[in-house]
Chain A
Amino acid sequence: MKVTYFPGCTLRTKAKELDRYAHAACNALGVELVEPDTWQCCGGVFSYAKDEIASKLPSVRALIDARDKNEPLVTVCSACHNVIKQTNHQIKTDADFAFRMNNYLAQEKDAPAPYNGETKVLHLLELIRDEIGFDKVAEKVQKPLTGKKIAAYYGCLLLRPSKTMQMDDPENPKIIEDLIRVLGGEPVIYPARNECCGGYIALEDAESAKKRSNSISDSAAAHGADMIITACPLCRYNLIKNGSKLPVVYFTELLAEALGVKEDNDGE
């Protein structure tokens, strides 16, 4: 299976592991992640303002690239996923936004056909659950994560707003826990798993980010986890920076480990 893949700015810089292990795991699962020839940063966070148009162009260009290849657009970073899915939803549901966005696009060199939200946007977790299938993943597990107690940290971006994201139950999700079980580990359910780490407030009010982040890592630790997994570079940064007692790793790293392809891809 070939899919269009949007890596995002951080996966090429501070979160190379998230990207590298995603490729390794997908190779093992028979999925090829193919980047558009060019792409730009999604902007990191979705703007709700109805008159924010130009700042959403990078998302729409990536969506068009996938549409023109008749492929889904796959992301791994929670933030890229949130921004692109919400932008896609906005272009589908807000005619004025779609009109103005398409006016911008019409002025580009080699202007694309108008875009109205045709592309299917999938997080790698959704690709695994809905397109590859957990049973197929289970067959490929080489090194089960036996005995590992793993706390899935969803944060805010993967699940909300659920009307748009449509990934899982926003208050009682299970997609990452199901994956952990398939990989042979033991998921740990804890109350803060879908609360916010503080996000970009880290630059504005470091104390506030610390309070938020500690409430999450402490909650996971108090419920007996050995480690926390995430799909978001900013969650990982905030949790570690603010002194998480538990290691915080990307879900793709555990996936690659269980599929037996981690070492081949270490230290590149």
Chain B
Amino acid sequence: MENKNERRREEILRISGVNPRKCMKCGKCSATCPSYDEMEYHPHEFVYMVESGELAPLLESKSIYKCLTCFACVERCPRGVEPAKLIEAVRLTVIREKGANHLKADDIPAKLDEEIPQQLLMSAFRKYSK
């Protein structure tokens, strides 16, 4: 168990390229996050929980699907930590597991309307499925 957690943490750090130790815990990323109210764990919490290896709560949390990839935290973090990259990496390690796609093609017809741009479907699949 210990080992698996550590391997996962290393993978998250590797594919995100983020160094959570640069964080000075100012909270600016979370303060600027438009999805703050929708998240159980906020961008600055992703940073310190990945750093401390507390992955299990993040992997099970809906928060990984609430990030909008709006780059606000990337732009505004004064230390260049770029928390969105970590959130993305955590989400990828979840959805890359067999059968773990968060959005399935069968879910789509019920969500369609006349005006939905293809861009919306493409982006959602890119973020929620593998």
Contact = CB atoms under 8 A, between A and B. Distances in A.
Contact of B68 (A10, A49, A161, A198): A198
B116 A196 contact: no
Nearest to A237: B117
Chain A residues touching B, majority SS: loop
B61 to A, nearest CB: 14
Interface residues of A, number: 43
Contacts of A150: none
B15 A14 contact: no
Contacts, number: 126
A241 B38 CA distance: 20
B35 A9 contact: no
Interface in A1-39: 8-10, 13-15
A77 B16 CA distance: 26
A46 interface: yes
Interface stretch (B20-28, B43-51, B83-91): B83-91
A99 interface: no
Contacts of A196: 34, 68, 70, 72
B116 A14 contact: yes
Interface in B116-130: 116-124, 126-128
A241 B108 CA distance: 18
Contacts of B71: 156, 160-161
A236 B119 CA distance: 12
A132 interface: no
A201 B118 contact: no
B66 interface: yes
Interface string B94-113: 00000000010000000101
Interface of B: 14-17, 34-35, 37-38, 65-66, 68-72, 74-75, 84-85, 88-89, 92, 103, 111, 113, 115-124, 126-128
A10 B119 CA distance: 6
Given A45-B127, A79-B119, A160 B88 contact: no
5 contacts: A50-B15, A50-B16, A55-B126, A156-B72, A208-B66
A41 B65 CA distance: 23
A208 B117 CA distance: 18
B123 A200 contact: yes
Interface in A119-178: 156, 160-162, 170
Interface in A222-268: 233-234, 236-237, 240-241
Given A15-B117, A48-B17, A201-B68, 18 more contacts: A10-B119, A13-B117, A14-B117, A14-B118, A44-B120, A44-B126, A48-B89, A49-B92, A50-B15, A156-B71, A160-B75, A161-B71, A170-B75, A195-B70, A199-B70, A203-B121, A204-B128, A241-B115
